[in-house]
Structure 1
Amino acid sequence: MGVEDIPENFIDRFVLPDTLIAAKFQEMHP
């Protein structure tokens, strides 16, 4: 699956939240 096949809302819903959750987790558990 190419990047052009991924809808933007997929990235907004899944990739961004995962990144934010990972960042918060790293802040809480350095």
Structure 2
Amino acid sequence: MRSPALFGASVMIVSYVLIFALVAFLPGPF
């Protein structure tokens, strides 16, 4: 199993990428 720290960091990175994709592709105030 991977270490919890690496798992938490990967989850945070994936969430940031998903949020960036939503902001970039969905019509928004930006």
**Coarse TM-score class (shorter-chain normalised):** 0.5 to 0.7
Structure with more helix by fraction: 1
* Unaligned ranges ≥5, structure 1: none
Runs of 4+ in 1 over 6 A off after TM superposition: none
Relative to the length of structure 2, the TM-score reads 0.61
Aligned length: 24
Q: RMSD over aligned Cα, in angstroms?
A: 1.1
Relative to the length of structure 1, the TM-score reads 0.61
